[in-house]
Amino acid sequence: MEQVIVQSCLRRAGRLAAQFIAAAAFLGFSASFAGADPMTFRAASLGADSNCGASCTRVIVAEGEINDSTPDAFAKFVALNGGNRSVKSVVFLHSPGGRVVASMQLGEMFRKAGAAVVVARVGGEGFTAARCYSACVYALMGARKRVIPPGSQVAIHRMFMLERLSGGDNEGHAMSRTYAHPAMLDRLGAYARKMGVSPEIIVSAERVAPDRVHVVSVKEMRRWRLAVQKL
């Protein structure tokens, strides 16, 4: 990755922070399942180091739940690894979801960096199946090229925010759900169109109960222009 990408990502992170202030009311909206570790980023080799050594192609591995600090963590990763030409702008993504706005921010950064995103996990001599559930799909949308190999899954459902009612405890009792306002859905639709994805995916996601997921079929993947199955 060129140094200019590093600088652009950092500048973009600052602009995105200001841009999304207007959406502050929506920062709490999530689409994920609880209990996942926060997303981390690392460089990994696609081949066995003993076979290719320093010439191994290295990619970016992004795994975990997307939270409010994830876009900044990605910018810092790029800053630290921007001078390493063996690290390619290919992201292997595995995530249960997370914060909706943070996922859009991360997607914007993927697009600015010209990154291709593959829903897969790096391991051994190649890669294995992975998942990109719920809000993760908004990060995936930002990629210059989106790949969902056979065996990997992308799933969607309705976004929501949990709020503790008076007298609720830290174990999650006495909680209420708030769903996205039309303005937020319009924002997501505009984001999808900007990324070349049909906003029909947003409408479809809102029809799925928040406690369930709908796994995107190959037919839907193509109809929504979400991804292809091969690199």
pLDDT in tens, 142-159: 999 999 999 999 999 988
* CA-closest candidate to residue 113, choices 140, 67, 78, 64: 78
Instruction: Say if 88 falls within a structural domain.
Output: yes
Instruction: Say if 71 falls within a structural domain.
Output: yes
Range of the domain at 28: 3-155+217-223
In the numeric block, which tokens belong to residue 90? Answer: 């290919």
Q: How many whole angstroms separate alpha carbon 5 and alpha carbon 27?
A: 27
Q: How many whole angstroms separate alpha carbon 115 and alpha carbon 91?
A: 7
* CA-closest candidate to residue 135, choices 92, 98, 162: 98
pLDDT digits (tens, 9 = 90+) for 65-78: 999 999 999 999 99
Instruction: Say if 176 falls within a structural domain.
Output: no
Global pTM reads 0.78
Instruction: Say if 145 falls within a structural domain.
Output: yes
Task: Count Cβ atoms within 10 A of the Cβ of residue 34 and give its class: 0-12 exposed, 13-18 middle, 19 or more buried.
Answer: exposed
Instruction: Say if 135 falls within a structural domain.
Output: yes
Give the CA angle between residues 40, 194, 75 to the nearest 5°. 25
Instruction: Say if 199 falls within a structural domain.
Output: no
pLDDT digits (tens, 9 = 90+) for 80-108: 887 677 678 899 999 999 999 999 999 99
In the numeric block, which tokens belong to residue 69? Answer: 């600090």
Task: Count Cβ atoms within 10 A of the Cβ of residue 47 and give its class: 0-12 exposed, 13-18 middle, 19 or more buried.
Answer: middle
Burial 104-138 (b: 16+ CB within 10 A, else e): bbbbbbbbbbebbbbbbbbeeeebeebbbbbbbbb
pLDDT for 82 equals 72
Helix/strand/coil for 223? helix
The position carrying tokens 């939270």 is: 67
Question: Are 228 and 146 in contact, with CB atoms under 8 Å apart?
Answer: yes
Q: Which residues contact 138 (CB under 8 A, 6 or more apart)?
A: 100, 103, 104, 107, 188, 191
Mean pLDDT computed over every residue of the chain: 80
Instruction: Say if 186 falls within a structural domain.
Output: no
In the numeric block, which tokens belong to residue 110? Answer: 């993927």
pLDDT digits (tens, 9 = 90+) for 24-77: 233 345 555 545 799 999 999 876 555 665 667 789 999 999 999 999 999 999
User: Is the per-residue pLDDT at 23 higher than 80?
Assistant: no
Instruction: Say if 92 falls within a structural domain.
Output: yes
Total tally of structural domains belonging to the chain: 1
